[in-house]
Each structure stands twice: as structure tokens, then as C-alpha cells.
């Protein structure tokens, strides 16, 4: 059976992280995979999450199956956290939420739903987009193509080009949008630009599939949800993939949700039945633990306040690190201006240096960033920032 099977190339993000783990250089620096690290290089458990987890475990009397769609408290609270309580009330039974194994599971279940409707159009993704969007959605049977988004010359979104491309998309196609903190570029559209995008989606009868993996990592929990909230308020059909990996720090617990908004409660019910059927044939039901923690935490006002305070600290620290990197690089060399690093949002940005320099940073200094030049801002620290500034400036001016 397996005599002829060939080993596949490593995943561009997880593979680089593994290479980093194996590197014996004591001075190595990991700016690859999107994981938050504190000043000591640890990925701590949020203290509110730890307390919620303990209370959950203490109160748990059984390990029997949870409802297949997920913990009801989780489903209720996660929809309200993302879309707000009044918007969820307004949508009523037109909105359904199903827990999934992480944001990847949500994307995959959304893709399975699209395939099950007989959808034959294309899913349009930003150029560039998160590397895993392609295999994740294509292997469900969807066909992907790109719309223009990031312009390396202006080191930001070329919004005119984006809008022009969206206006050409055939009616009924699906447009994948990053809810906030665009991965990999960190370049987001403004609220006014979201309004314009939503108008085009409405005019052209396009269906948004909004990937929200970093709510609270950009400008704030509500600010980061502007686009997705406007989309559900204004459009008849919306798909959402939500992740709790980053904002609750639940990476390994694989906690996410797919949300479906259809024109009627009847359609939503039918769509949900297809998601549940897809889950059943792929993995039956999502792991419970992470959703149990989030549901418990968000049901408790004190824990919720504590978590929001911690999340704010994480966001502010990342903004401080961005600022520090931009200023440090601008002062240390004059070949490139790095102001855009301070302007970008969330966990990532493109450093925009030549690809050869990325490889030199890895080979000569054990500084790991993706070949696209994406860096994980949360991999920076007060300690390693001066080293990174020095090394990047050195390779740039060699």
C-alpha cells in the first residue's frame, strides 16, 4: 500500500516553526508562526481563561457527549461577542452558530456548506492571503482565485484596485474577507472602506465569507468587528469563520465557530443541517473543552472584565513592539523607511525586505521569518528587538 507514497513538502508556516524548534543556536529568534509571546518569550494562559478552566473542571460531573453543535453557552456568547447583543437579537433565527475545531474547522465547514449547496462559482481571496486558505478550501472542492489587495509599493491596501476587482466578480460568487488584522500583511481596510465593500457585495449579489481570527488584536473587540457587523446587518447571506485561538489564547484546544446568516430562518436551519452533517462525516463533533472554557468565562461578568483587560494589555504590547521596530529600523539604516510597520494592524506585517535577506537572516543569525517576509509581531520582545534591528539593518546594507 505505502511503497510508492512520497513525503510531502512541509507546511510553509508550521514547517518553518519546526525547523526553528530544531535549531540549536541559543540566540535563535522565532518570528514565524502566529503565536503570542510575552516579554519572557512565553505564551502564557490568560489568567481569566485559567480560572474559567478550573471552575469548569471542578463543576464537571460527566464526560458524556455535549450537544453536537457545541456548548450552548459558548454558541450564545461567541455570537454576541463578535456580532454584539443587539445585532444577534435583530438577526434572530436567521443566524446559526456551530462550534468547530478552531478557525480552520470553521473555514472547512463553511467550505463544505458551500459545496453541499451545489455552488459552482469561485471563492475570491485577497492577494495575498493566509497560506492555508488555499489547501483548506480547495480540498473541500472549491475553486479559488484572487482579487487585488496589497500593494508592495505603497506598503498598504490598494483599495481602488480591490474595489475595481470586486466590481468585476460574477454575481453569486463568494468573497473571502479578513475581518481584521489581515494575515499576512497587517494591512486592513478602514470602516469607510468596509462600507464601500459591503455596498459592492450587495450590488453584485456576492456572498462574503469573513475570516475573523484576531478579534481584539487590532484596535479593540468592537472596532475589529466593524466590518463583520455591518455585513450581517446589511447583506442577506453571510458566512463567518471565527477563531478563539489568539484572543483567548486557546491555540491547542482548537476552539472556533462557523456562523451562517441566510435570508430566512428556514434556509438557516437547512444550512445548519448541512454543516452538522459535514461535521458528522469528518469528525462527528468538535472537541468540547475550549468552547466550555469560553462559554463559562463569558457567562461570568468578573472573568469577562479580567479577560478583556488582559486582551487589551496584549494588544497594547504588540502596538508598542510595532512602534519600537519601526523606529529602531528607521534610525539604524536609511535604505528603507519602515513607518508602515507601525501603521499595520494585529499580529503580522510584511517586512518588505528582499527575499534573499530573509534567507540570510535565517542562515547567518537564526532569525526566522516567512519567505513572504511576514513577521509575527508578537515574536518581538524588549530583549530581542535591538538584536533584530541590528541584524535586519546589517543584511539590508551589506
185 neighbors 349 (Cβ within 8 angstroms) = yes
ω into 184 cis (within 30 of 0)? yes
Nearer to ligand LMR, 207 or 228 (CB): 228
Q: What is the torsion angle, in degrees rounded to the nearest 10, for the CA atoms of residue 356, residue 188, residue 162 and residue 32?
A: 30
39: exposed, middle or buried (Cβ count in 10 Å: 0-12, 13-18, 19+): exposed
129: exposed, middle or buried (Cβ count in 10 Å: 0-12, 13-18, 19+): buried
CB 161 to ligand LMR: min, Å: 24
Nearer to ligand LMR, 13 or 88 (CB): 13
62: exposed, middle or buried (Cβ count in 10 Å: 0-12, 13-18, 19+): exposed
Q: Which of 173, 246, 307, 357 is catalytic?
A: 246
Please tell me the chain's helix, strand, coil percentages from 3-state DSSP, rounded to the nearest 5: 50, 15, 35
State the Cα–Cα distance between residues 248 and 271, nearest whole angstrom. 28
State the Cα–Cα distance between residues 110 and 259, nearest whole angstrom. 8
Binding status of residue 13 toward ligand LMR by CB under 6 A: yes
Measured at the CA of 88, the angle between CA 227 and CA 47, to 5 degrees, comes to: 80
Among 16, 33, 225, 259, binds ligand LMR (CB under 6 A): 33
CB 185 to ligand LMR: min, Å: 12
CB 333 to ligand LMR: min, Å: 27
Binding status of residue 107 toward ligand LMR by CB under 6 A: no
Among 116, 132, 230, 269, binds ligand LMR (CB under 6 A): 132
Q: Which of 165, 188, 211, 224 is catalytic?
A: 211
174 neighbors 209 (Cβ within 8 angstroms) = yes
Binding status of residue 34 toward ligand LMR by CB under 6 A: yes
Q: Which of 124, 130, 194, 307 is catalytic?
A: 130
Q: Which of 37, 46, 56, 32 is nearest to 300 (CA)?
A: 56
Task: Verify whether residue 122 is a known catalytic residue.
Answer: no
Residue of minimal Cβ distance to ligand LMR: 34
- Binding-site residue total for ligand LMR (CB under 6 A)? 6
CB 342 to ligand LMR: min, Å: 21
State the Cα–Cα distance between residues 95 and 87, nearest whole angstrom. 10
302: exposed, middle or buried (Cβ count in 10 Å: 0-12, 13-18, 19+): exposed
State the Cα–Cα distance between residues 379 and 130, nearest whole angstrom. 18
Cα distances from 213 to residues 35, 179, 186, 318, in angstroms, run 12, 8, 13, 16
CB 180 to ligand LMR: min, Å: 14
Between 140 and 179, how does the x/- string for binding to ligand LMR read (CB under 6 A)? Answer: ----------------------------------------
Nearer to ligand LMR, 31 or 140 (CB): 31
Nearer to ligand LMR, 16 or 174 (CB): 16
Cα distances from 193 to residues 41, 227, 254, 267, 321, in angstroms, run 36, 9, 32, 30, 27
Binding status of residue 136 toward ligand LMR by CB under 6 A: no
Task: Verify whether residue 211 is a known catalytic residue.
Answer: yes
Task: Verify whether residue 130 is a known catalytic residue.
Answer: yes
CB 216 to ligand LMR: min, Å: 15
Nearer to ligand LMR, 261 or 369 (CB): 369
Among 183, 268, 360, 384, binds ligand LMR (CB under 6 A): 183
201 neighbors 166 (Cβ within 8 angstroms) = yes
HSE-CB of 206 using CA atoms within 13 angstroms: 27
Nearer to ligand LMR, 33 or 271 (CB): 33
Binding status of residue 70 toward ligand LMR by CB under 6 A: no
Binding status of residue 37 toward ligand LMR by CB under 6 A: no
Nearer to ligand LMR, 43 or 309 (CB): 43
Nearer to ligand LMR, 13 or 225 (CB): 13
CB 212 to ligand LMR: min, Å: 12
Binding status of residue 248 toward ligand LMR by CB under 6 A: no
State the Cα–Cα distance between residues 241 and 105, nearest whole angstrom. 8
- Catalytic residue numbers read 130, 211, 246
What are the residues binding ligand LMR (CB under 6 A)? 13, 33-34, 130, 132, 183
Amino acid at each position: 500500500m505505502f511503497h510508492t507514497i512520497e513525503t510531502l513538502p512541509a507546511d510553509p508556516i508550521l514547517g518553518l516553526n519546526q525547523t526553528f524548534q530544531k535549531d540549536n543556536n541559543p540566540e535563535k529568534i522565532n518570528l514565524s508562526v502566529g503565536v503570542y509571546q510575552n516579554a519572557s518569550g512565553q505564551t502564557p494562559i490568560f489568567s481569566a481563561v485559567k480560572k474559567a478552566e478550573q471552575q469548569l473542571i471542578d463543576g464537571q460531573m460527566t464526560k458524556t457527549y455535549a450537544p453536537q453543535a457545541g456548548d450552548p453557552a459558548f454558541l450564545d456568547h461567541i455570537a454576541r461577542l463578535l456580532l454584539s447583543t443587539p445585532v444577534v437579537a435583530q438577526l434572530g433565527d436567521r443566524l446559526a452558530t456551530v462550534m468547530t475545531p478552531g478557525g480552520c474547522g470553521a473555514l472547512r465547514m463553511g467550505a463544505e456548506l458551500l459545496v453541499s449547496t451545489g455552488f459552482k462559482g469561485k471563492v475570491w481571496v485577497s492577494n495575498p492571503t493566509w497560506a492555508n486558505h488555499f489547501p483548506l478550501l480547495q480540498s473541500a472542492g472549491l475553486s479559488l482565485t484572487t482579487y487585488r489587495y496589497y500593494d508592495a509599493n505603497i506598503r498598504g491596501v490598494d483599495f481602488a484596485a480591490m474595489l475595481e476587482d470586486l466590481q468585476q466578480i460574477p454575481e453569486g460568487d463568494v468573497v473571502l474577507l479578513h475581518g481584521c488584522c489581515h494575515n499576512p500583511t497587517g494591512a486592513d481596510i478602514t470602516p469607510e472602506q468596509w462600507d464601500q465593500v459591503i455596498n459592492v457585495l450587495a450590488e453584485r449579489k456576492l456572498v462574503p465569507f469573513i475570516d475573523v481570527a484576531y478579534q481584539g488584536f487590532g484596535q479593540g473587540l468592537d472596532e475589529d468587528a466593524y466590518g463583520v457587523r455591518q455585513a450581517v446587518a446589511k447583506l442577506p447571506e453571510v458566512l463567518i469563520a471565527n477563531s478563539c485561538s489568539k484572543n483567548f489564547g486557546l491555540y491547542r484546544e482548537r476552539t472556533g465557530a462557523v456562523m451562517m446568516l441566510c435570508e430566512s430562518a428556514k434556509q438557516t436551519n437547512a444550512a445548519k443541517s448541512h454543516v452538522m452533517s459535514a461535521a458528522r462525516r469528518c469528525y462527528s463533533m468538535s472537541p468540547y473543552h475550549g468552547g466550555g472554557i469560553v462559554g463559562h468565562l463569558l457567562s461570568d461578568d468578573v472573568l469577562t472584565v479580567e479577560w478583556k483587560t488582559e486582551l487589551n494589555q496584549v494588544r497594547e504590547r504588540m502596538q508598542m513592539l510595532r512602534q519600537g521596530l519601526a523606529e529602531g529600523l528607521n534610525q539604524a539604516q536609511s535604505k528603507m523607511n519602515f513607518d508602515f510597520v507601525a501603521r499595520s494592524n494585529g499580529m503580522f506585517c510584511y517586512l518588505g525586505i528582499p527575499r534573499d535577506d530573509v534567507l540570510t537572516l535565517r542562515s547567518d543569525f537564526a532569525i526566522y521569518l516567512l519567505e513572504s517576509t511576514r513577521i509575527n509581531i508578537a515574536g518581538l520582545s524588549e530583549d530581542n528587538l535591538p538584536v533584530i534591528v541590528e541584524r535586519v539593518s546589517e543584511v539590508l546594507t551589506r
